[in-house]
Every structure is written in C-alpha cells, then in structure tokens.
Structure 1
Amino acid sequence: MTLDPGRISAILTFLDAANQLKDTLRSGRTPKGRQESTAEHSWRLCLLVILLGDTFEGIDLLRLIKICIVHDLGEAISGDVPATDQRAGDDRAQRERADLVELCAPLPEDLKTEMIALWDEYAGAQTPEAVFAKGLDKIETMLTHSTGRNPSGFDYGFNLSYGADATSRHPLLESIRAQVDARTRSRMSATD
C-alpha cells in the first residue's frame, strides 16, 4: 500500500507539533526528581493499559490505548495544568479541546475527526474504554506522586482524594486505587 505524499506530509507536520509534548512539563517528578513530561505520563499510562489488558472484559484494548495517547495531546499547545491547580468550572476542558483541534488542523480530515472523537470520548467518560482511560489516567498520576522525588512540603494527602470519582467507576479501578492509596499513606508516614 502506498500513501499519498500530501497525506504523509500532513501526518509529519502534525507529529512535529505533537513532539512538543516531550517538552511539556507536568508537576509530577521522576524517581530522580526531574519533572516528567506529558509524553512520559502518556507513555506510562499506555504501558499500564497493556499490562492490565488481559483483565479487561468487554474492552476494545486498541481503542483504550488510542484514547490514552490522545487524551493530553492538546497540552502540546497550552501546557499542563497541575492536578492541584485544577478547579471545577475553570474551562480547562474547553481550552484543551480547542488546543487539540488546533494541533490536529494539518491532519487529513479522517484522522482529524478520529483524534477529536477520541478526545471527546475521553472527556465524556461514558464508554467502557473512556471510563478506564480516565480512571487509569488518575492512577498513573497518583503513582508518579507516590514514587517521585518530590520537593519538600509536597502534599501527599492530595492523592487520597484526587480522581476519586474517576477511580470509583469500576471494581478493577477501585482495587488498583486501594493499593495506590496504601503506597501514598506509606510515603506520607516516611516523610513525617
């Protein structure tokens, strides 16, 4: 199969812009203390999905991975808003969607439509795949908080309520959450 050179060029242009996710920093820290990038977060989220893949019943694993890869793509334009700074009604979701639409502008229409639909599915969290994507996204963030070399005064207690709505929507998510919460409590005890 050969691809139209214009289609290839459009995809490469999009990838150039999406590459900014490697330099888009999040508040999470690596075990050595370096701020992680959004690309690193998305990579580990997808790795988590792959490792859990055989436990998902009735889930389209490829669709779930696609949603996980797309869910933070808009951050390539406006950056990440740390979980501790997110507030209800802050229009963050609308900004992220608008940024995704801008990022996808060079893509051929079919790919642009697919990427935006995947993001919308994640944001709506109504399909089984989106429920898992959203819950595991929160869990990956909490794992990073519980294992990273964080600055002094880091609020580990934040993890204990963060994403509770997203992680309570399926027994598997609740089970993973319980272990992550135990890790967080252990980390809190160690820093007291």
Structure 2
Amino acid sequence: MKNIANFLFEVGMLKRTPRTGFQFLGSGAQSVAEHSFRTAMIGYALAQLDGQADVARVLQLCLFHDIPEARTGDLNYVNKKYVQVDEQKAVEDLARELPFGEDYRATLVEFIARESYEAQLAHDADQLEMVLSLKEHKDLGNRYADEWYPFSRLRLKTEIAKELAETIWETDSSKWWFDEDHQWWVNGRSGK
C-alpha cells in the first residue's frame, strides 16, 4: 500500500507541474493535471462518437499519457529541440514500484507507439485539448492562437477529431453558458 500511496502523491504532483507551451503563446497557464483531465473527457467523447473504440482503453491512455511528467517536467516543442529527457527511465522506475506496473508500462508503450486505434484517439484528444485552449485564448484576443492552430490541426489523425477541431475553431468558447435569454442576465429570472 505504501507504493500506491506514493504513486497517488506522484500523480498529485501533476497539479503543480506547469505546461510550458503557454509561455510562448504569451498568455494563460495550465497544469499537466488540468490538461490530462480535459484530455480524458475529450478522449471519452471521441470514443463514444466513434462507436467502435474501446472507451475504457481510450480513457486509460488519456489519463496515463503524461504521468511521466511528474518526474521529467513538461517539455514544449522548443525545449524538445535542445533537451533530451529519458522518459522511458521515468516509466520504468515507476512501473517497478507498482503492483500494476506492467499495465502502466504497457499503457505508455501503446500511447507512444500510436498503433492501436485507441492510442490514435488518445493522441488526438491530447491535441484537441490544445485546440480548445487555443480557441479560448483566441476568443480573448490572443492573435498568436491563429498561428498555432494549423499545426495542432495537422497533428490530428482520425477523421472524427479533425471534424471536431473544425467545429471547435468555429464555436465561440463562451456561448455554452451565455445564451439568448436576455432577461436572465438582467434580473436573474428567465424571460421564457
């Protein structure tokens, strides 16, 4: 049980591990845990929409995909040009400590290989999380989001993810809560 407690503390470290790409975007901040949570929700939605994928497997791949960053930190695309990180060692070191270490290792191997359809959906979920973040920043006036979007879009592999990316980019990020019921926003009661 001690190793499980340590694992859960390690996963908690992702709440305090920043995603580093936002420094280049010039606005925003996000932890790896925040990113992983929304990635999992996106993965779930993609797998449900697809109808053929193993939903539980996609969720597991999404939830586990960035756990090594508790040990390595998050490296953005600029960092990766210059810094070599031994993510495999981070995976192996944690896997040795867990009673489900082989499952953890296999999950990361599958995610990295991108050979299974579920891994492709999980990778697309990872990229769509960035697309959502970019759209939120674009809607708040960050002009660089428009420059970043095409690269995120080109990383998508599945047709369902490509379609969702286009819809995201065309949708105002605040309209989900700010509806047409003007009376509500005036006096807190529906005019309908």
Asked if 1:27 corresponds to 2:6, the answer is: no
Asked if 1:114 corresponds to 2:103, the answer is: yes
Are the aligned partners of 2:135 and 2:145 in contact in 1 as well (CA < 8 Å)? Answer: no
| Superposition TM-score, scaled by structure 2 size | 0.74
How many equivalent residue pairs?
167
Counterpart among 152, 163, 168 of residue 175 in structure 1: 163
What root-mean-square deviation, in Å, do the aligned CA atoms of Structure 1 and Structure 2 show? 2.8
Flag structure 1 segments of 5+ consecutive residues without an equivalent: 1-7, 185-192
| Superposition TM-score, scaled by structure 1 size | 0.74
The code of the aligned residue for 1:66 comes to: Q
Which secondary structure does the structure 1 equivalent of 2:20 belong to? strand
Q: What is the rounded CA distance, in whole Å, between the counterparts of 1:60 and 1:11 in structure 2?
A: 26
Which secondary structure does the structure 1 equivalent of 2:51 belong to? coil
Matches within 5 A, 1:48-127: 48-83=42-77, 85-87=79-81, 91-92=84-85, 95-108=86-99, 111-127=100-116
Alpha-carbon displacement from aligned partner over 1:98-123 (angstroms, at most 9, x marks no partner): 22222333212xx1111111011011
Deviation at 1:82, TM superposition (A): 1.9
Flag structure 2 segments of 5+ consecutive residues without an equivalent: 173-192
| Bigger strand fraction | 1
The code of the aligned residue for 2:110 comes to: E
Alpha-carbon displacement from aligned partner over 1:28-73 (angstroms, at most 9, x marks no partner): 66xxx65111011000111122334431232111111000011111
Deviation at 1:152, TM superposition (A): 6.5
Select the structure with the greater relative contact order (CA < 8 A; seq sep ≥ 6).
1
152 and 131 in structure 1: CA distance in 2 versus 1, 3 angstrom threshold: closer
Identity %: 22
Q: What is the rounded CA distance, in whole Å, between the counterparts of 1:122 and 1:163 in structure 2?
A: 19
Asked if 1:164 corresponds to 2:164, the answer is: no
Q: Which residue of 2 aligns with 1:14?
A: 7
Q: Which residue of 2 aligns with 1:190?
A: none
Q: Which residue of 1 aligns with 2:124?
A: 135
